[in-house]
């Protein structure tokens, strides 16, 4: 691969005299938009930034209705977001991200919103509105961007308060009673000194799975948010931006339908799993139709996020000192019906509370010198509480033990696993660029991080009838289900060094070549499901990444084409693990081995005429387990005498397709009286993926999704009306799967079906 990249660079260098010819004169309305990004903590044009980064403007996000983080895949290849609910959320780049179900671990893909690094995966579930732009930086981060990560970072930048008065209102009505309202108001509060911005957001309806038991619509939207900002500019040497925000949701987003449960093992012997327990204990045969919901105890999942951040900028002569202070809180209560039936058997879920405090100080040199540099410190305190609650209901005894025993054996019993993780992190970092010549530059970065992590997991069970007297003989059955109480504790301090070497060379005014080698670590996770004998704090992940790319501007500014090759090796990868020498075959979070990511990514855009814009992004790659010898096997391979663990070495990683990409077109035609007719279309595709290569269950074939819209816009964009559709061809697909256990089936997280709607927008001033 590296040889091929070298050949590509040689070819471009040979072609450079042609590429360096006088540019064709292009008017502004036929030039490709140049997005200004801040991935290197300075404002730079995307095409002038010698790193592997993609960006989407807020204008495109608004026009094409890319409302959720998962929608960004319609413009960025090799990126995906799992957003089932506020806890089961994660971002992935090149097929790798984080453990969506582990509250004690950090994501390999960081999330940075208005300069604040958000640690818990649940923060990525938010709908970010009133956006200036979003960026996706690939490879290990940390010498510039907040906390250290191994795979990359999604950088979200909202619009700041403005001194020019502006207002925006957007109202949407869609299929399945979907209604959405967005409003922004910004302007001066004190002339030339203080400006404010208020953003409101509401979204309701849209549920598309009807529950037979009570008629409720699952997978709905029921959320609102408010963000207030103040910008204080007393003089040219100082500015301060204060942001206060609240997000609130109460939704039936915790519906994961059964897609199968093997009645026999692969060797033909009977398997006493979820389906057989239901048949034996309750005489019930479950349905595997993913739209056939029949739950008796499902309730809305509740999630709230609050945040306060302050960005202060001081000009010290020609230098700039930036201080970013922030607090974030995450609260989640799931209310799941975990047995997936119309019978009261059991409920379970993780009650999660997270508090995060962070402080970043960064000093930047003047721009335009021979050497540009930035240096700073980053401090983080995070407190996580995750209580896995299992509540046993009246039919639990029949399901877990036998229908011949009294219901009182298990009814009313609750088992809790209370996980606690407290993390303190401190880092010092620096990044500099030496402009060797007008065309050549060498950038480098260094970061040292020290972390102190303390964790515990406490298991207790309580409640239910007292098993005394005539019920005393049944106490052993209850104990077999609940297990013994226990406490596991641990503490660990780690120090890690991250670095970056990033040379670049401008072959011509329109061709920029770059390379980078970087190393980063993801913090050691707290295994909040640990039992006696398990390590409760595991080792960090260690990533070494190589990038080789080229950015070109073609046709005198009417088109861009960017291509990069990558190879990333992650040692100490954190994933579920089985100890084949242990007394049980229970899996738990551990460092399981090594993974390798490699491939090619390309993206481009062309302003074909002043009315038509075309764009694409595509990626081919592989994400494989180089070594993963003790993986949990699928349920149908856990028969007596079978190997306790599975060997996934050499296999494609879970939910990591080889091919992803998208193509899109935007068209606008002026009409009379200042009106404009506009339309857009977008096609996104994703290759085949699976929960595990060893199972015939939980596989998703490759699929494509089509979004489109057409509308009319008034003079100066004062108003618009858009008729739009998402998933126009109504493709039914799964985003992800969960494996079967002895008490649950294989389940799916479903993608949204076709949704159509009309959106009205107005900008009064």
What is the structure's pLDDT at 431?
95
Q: How many CB atoms are closer than 10 A to CB 160?
A: 16
Residue 27 has pLDDT above 70, yes or no: no
- Which CATH number covers residue 681? 2.40.170.20
Task: Outline where 23-159 has alpha helix (H).
Answer: 58-63
CA distance 511 to 570: 31
Residue 487 has pLDDT above 80, yes or no: yes
Alpha carbon 718 to chain centroid, angstroms:
34
What is the structure's pLDDT at 349?
93
- Where are any strands of DSSP class E within 608-641? 612-627
Buried b (16+ CB within 10 A) or exposed e, 230-245: bbbbeeeeebbbbbeb
Mean pLDDT confidence for 357-385: 95
Report pTM. 0.92
Q: How many helices (H) and strands (E) does the chain have?
A: 6, 38
Residue 89 has pLDDT above 90, yes or no: no
Residue 556's domain spans which residues? Answer: 2-762
pLDDT category at 30 given cuts 50, 70, 90 is: low
Given the DSSP bridges, would you call strands 109-113 and 89-93 parallel, antiparallel or unpaired?
unpaired
Residue 354 has pLDDT above 90, yes or no: yes
Alpha carbon 740 to chain centroid, angstroms:
24
Enter the DSSP assignment of 631. Answer: B
- Nearest Cα neighbor of 722 from 655, 660, 656, 676 is 676
For the chain, the average pLDDT equals 92
Q: How far is CA 223 from CA 126, 127, 722, in A?
A: 10, 9, 23
Q: How many CB atoms are closer than 10 A to CB 361?
A: 15
Lowest mean pLDDT among 517-531, 575-589, 591-605: 575-589
Q: What share of the chain is helix, strand, coil (3-state, %, to 5)?
A: 10, 55, 35
Residue 505 has pLDDT above 90, yes or no: yes
- Nearest Cα neighbor of 449 from 51, 151, 149 is 149
Q: How far is CA 74 from CA 698, 705, 708, in A?
A: 24, 9, 12
Mean pLDDT confidence for 590-598: 94
pLDDT category at 581 given cuts 50, 70, 90 is: low
- Nearest Cα neighbor of 168 from 201, 136, 191 is 201
Residue 742 has pLDDT above 60, yes or no: yes
Q: How far is CA 251 from CA 184, 298, 329, in A?
A: 25, 11, 19
CA distance 93 to 369: 34
CA distance 133 to 731: 29
C-alpha count within 13 angstroms, C-beta hemisphere, residue 592: 27
Q: Tell which wins on pLDDT, 439 or 533.
A: 439
3-class secondary-structure state, position 761 = strand
What is the structure's pLDDT at 40?
85
Query: What pLDDT, in 10s, does the model give residues 660-710?
Result: 999 999 999 999 999 999 999 999 999 999 888 889 898 999 999 999 999
Buried b (16+ CB within 10 A) or exposed e, 166-201: bebbbebebebebebebbbbbbbeeeeebbbbbbbb
> Considering its fold, how many domains does the chain have in total?
1
Residues 92, 79: contact at Cβ < 8 Å?
Answer: yes
Lowest mean pLDDT among 20-24, 293-297, 584-588, 724-728: 20-24
> How far does the chain reach from its first CA to its final CA, in angstroms?
53
Q: How many CB atoms are closer than 10 A to CB 44?
A: 18
């Amino acid at each position: 691969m590296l040889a091929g990249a070298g050949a590509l660079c040689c070819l471009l260098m040979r072609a450079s005299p042609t590429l360096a010819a006088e540019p064709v004169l292009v008017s502004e309305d036929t030039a490709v938009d140049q997005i200004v990004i801040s991935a290197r903590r300075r404002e730079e044009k995307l095409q002038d930034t010698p790193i592997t980064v993609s960006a989407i403007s807020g204008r495109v996000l608004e026009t094409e209705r890319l409302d959720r983080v998962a929608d960004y895949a319609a413009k960025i290849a090799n990126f995906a977001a799992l957003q089932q609910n506020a806890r089961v959320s994660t971002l992935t780049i090149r097929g790798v991200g984080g453990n969506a179900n582990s509250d004690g671990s950090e994501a390999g893909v960081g999330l940075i919103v208005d300069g604040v690094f958000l640690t818990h995966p649940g923060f990525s579930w938010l709908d970010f509105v009133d956006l200036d732009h979003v960026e996706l930086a690939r490879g290990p981060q940390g010498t510039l961007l907040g906390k250290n990560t191994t795979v990359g970072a999604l950088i979200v930048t909202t619009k700041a308060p403005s001194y020019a008065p502006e207002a925006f209102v957007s109202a949407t009505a869609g299929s399945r009673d979907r209604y959405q309202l967005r409003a922004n108001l910004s302007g001066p509060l004190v002339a030339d000194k203080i400006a404010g911005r208020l953003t409101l957001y509401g979204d309701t309806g849209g549920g598309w799975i009807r529950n037979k038991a009570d008629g409720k619509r699952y997978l709905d939207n029921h959320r609102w948010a408010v963000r207030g900002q103040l910008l204080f500019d007393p003089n040219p040497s100082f500015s301060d931006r204060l942001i206060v925000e609240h997000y609130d949701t109460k939704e039936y987003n915790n519906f994961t339908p059964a897609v199968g449960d093997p009645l026999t093992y692969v060797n033909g012997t009977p398997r006493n799993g979820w389906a057989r327990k239901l048949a034996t204990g309750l005489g019930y045969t479950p349905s595997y139709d993913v739209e056939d919901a029949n739950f008796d105890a499902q309730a809305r999942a509740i999630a709230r996020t609050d945040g306060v951040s302050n960005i202060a900028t001081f000009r010290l002569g020609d230098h700039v000192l930036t201080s970013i202070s922030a607090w974030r809180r995450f609260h989640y209560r799931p209310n799941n019906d975990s047995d997936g039936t119309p019978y009261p058997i059991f409920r379970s879920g993780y009650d999660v509370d997270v508090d995060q405090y962070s402080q970043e100080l960064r000093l930047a040199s003047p721009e335009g010198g021979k050497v540009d540099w930035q240096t700073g410190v980053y401090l983080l305190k995070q407190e996580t509480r995750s209580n896995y609650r299992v509540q046993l209901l009246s039919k639990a005894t029949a399901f877990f033990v036998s229908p011949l025993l009294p219901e009182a054996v298990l009814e009313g019993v609750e088992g809790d696993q209370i996980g606690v993780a407290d993390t303190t992190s401190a880092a010092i970092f620096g990044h500099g660029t030496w402009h060797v010549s007008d065309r050549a530059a060498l950038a480098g970065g260094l970061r040292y991080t020290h972390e102190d992590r303390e964790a515990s997991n406490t298991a207790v069970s309580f409640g239910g009838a007292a098993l005394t007297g005539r019920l005393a003989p049944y106490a052993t059955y209850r104990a077999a289900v609940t297990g013994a109480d226990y406490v596991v504790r641990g503490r660990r301090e780690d120090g890690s060094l991250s670095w970056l070497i990033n040379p670049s060379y401008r072959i011509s005014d329109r061709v920029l070549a770059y390379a980078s080698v970087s190393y980063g670590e993801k913090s050691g996770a707290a295994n909040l499901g640990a039992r006696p004998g398990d390590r409760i704090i595991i080792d960090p992940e260690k990533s070494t990444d190589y990038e080789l790319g080229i950015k070109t501007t073609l046709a005198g500014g009417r088109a861009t084409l960017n291509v990069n090759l990558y190879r990333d090796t992650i040692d100490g990868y954190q994933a579920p693990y089985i100890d084949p020498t242990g007394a049980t075959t229970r899996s738990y979070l551990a460092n399981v081995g090594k993974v390798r990511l490699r491939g090619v990514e390309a993206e481009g855009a062309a302003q074909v005429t002043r009315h038509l814009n075309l764009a694409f992004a595509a990626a081919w790659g592989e994400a494989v387990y180089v070594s993963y010898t003790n993986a949990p096997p699928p349920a149908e391979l856990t028969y007596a005498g079978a190997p306790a663990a599975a060997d996934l070495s050499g296999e494609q990683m879970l939910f990591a397709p080889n091919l992803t990409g998208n193509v899109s077109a935007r068209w606008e035609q002026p009409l009379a009286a200042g009106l404009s007719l506009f339309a857009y279309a977008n096609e996104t595709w994703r290759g085949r993926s699976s929960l595990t290569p060893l199972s015939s269950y939980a596989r998703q074939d490759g699929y494509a999704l089509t979004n489109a819209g057409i509308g009319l816009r008034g003079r100066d964009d004062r108003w618009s009306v858009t008729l739009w559709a998402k998933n126009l061809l109504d493709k039914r697909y799964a985003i992800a799967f969960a494996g079967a256990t002895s008490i649950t089936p294989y389940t799916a997280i479903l993608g949204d079906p076709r949704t159509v709607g009309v959106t009205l927008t107005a900008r009064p001033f």
